[in-house]
Amino acid sequence: MDPSSSAGLTRGFQVALCTLTLTGFLELFCASKTVASLLKSKEGPSLYRACLRANLVNNLAIGPITYALATEFFVYKSDPDSGYSLIRSFTSALGLVVTHALGYHYAHSQMHRPQMYWAHKFHHAFAKHVTPSSANAVSVVEYAYAYMLPFVVGCAVCAPDERALLTAVAVISVNNLLIHTPALEVLPQQL
Ligand SMILES: [Zn+2]
């Protein structure tokens, strides 16, 4: 493995650890009642085990591999003289977020077709008990197709540098966790 691939893999693991830490934080402090109610339901314990397993496999295996591949082939390798400006980083990060949103929207609609629903069914098993961990509780096929592929396509289209890629990953990943944390919706009423 050449040094840039192993650096990409390491950075991918760091991203995964940040995601898992934020997931755990939200799960403990904002969704403990939802988790307790999920665990009390009939299929709850096995469903929650599958949820935690999917979080580990998706975040720690598929995520870093995809990050390393995207970095290797599509991310602009900036050096101090490359002239990759802050404006260019900002526009490529924005382009990446938009490309990912379009790609995810298309993949999600495809997975609601009867021929592909098998890949998406697991995620909707959490419709009644929406927990932060359910954000990444998707099948391996869904994670690769709807979550990761739009990032790779976005990198190919936008040629971000690494700071742009990390910014886009953070925006998309944090938003994904927040929309799966319904407890936060009532915060403004409590303040
Ligand atoms: Zn759906």
List the chain domain ranges.
3-181
Between the CA of 111 and the centroid of ligand 1 the distance, in Å, is: 7
Predicted confidence at residue 185, as pLDDT, reads 82
Cα of 67 from ligand 1 centre, angstroms: 24
8 Å CB contact between 55 and 99: no
- How far does the centroid of ligand 1 lie from the alpha carbon of residue 157, in Å? 26
Contacts 24+ apart (CB under 8 A), 1-5: 4/71, 4/72, 4/77, 5/68, 5/71, 5/72
d(CA 172, CA 160): 15
**Residues 47-55: contacts with CB under 8 Å, at least 24 apart:** 47/125, 47/126, 50/122, 50/137, 51/126, 51/131, 51/133, 51/134, 51/137, 52/133, 54/122, 54/136, 54/137, 54/138, 54/139, 54/140, 54/143, 55/20, 55/23, 55/133, 55/136, 55/137
The secondary structure of residue 180, as a DSSP letter, is: T
Question: How much distance in Å is there from the Cα of 29 to the middle of ligand 1?
Answer: 26
- Residue 91 CA to ligand 1 center (angstroms) comes to 29
Q: How far is the CA of 31 from the centre of ligand 1 (A)?
A: 21
Q: How many residues does the chain have?
A: 191
How far is ligand 1, taken at its centre, from the CA of residue 104, in Å? 11
114 phi and psi angles, rounded to 5 deg: -55, -35
Residues 99-150 pLDDT 10s = 999 999 999 999 999 999 999 999 999 999 999 999 999 999 999 999 999 9
User: How much is the average pLDDT of 49-65?
Assistant: 98
- What burial class does residue 113 get, using C-beta atoms within 10 Å of its C-beta: 0-12 exposed, 13-18 middle, 19+ buried? exposed
Strand partners, 128: none
Q: pLDDT value at position 57?
A: 98
Average pLDDT, integer, range 86-97: 95
CA of 132 to the centre of ligand 1 (A): 16
Q: How far is the CA of 66 from the centre of ligand 1 (A)?
A: 23
Ligand 1: distance of its center to the CA of 119 in Å?
10
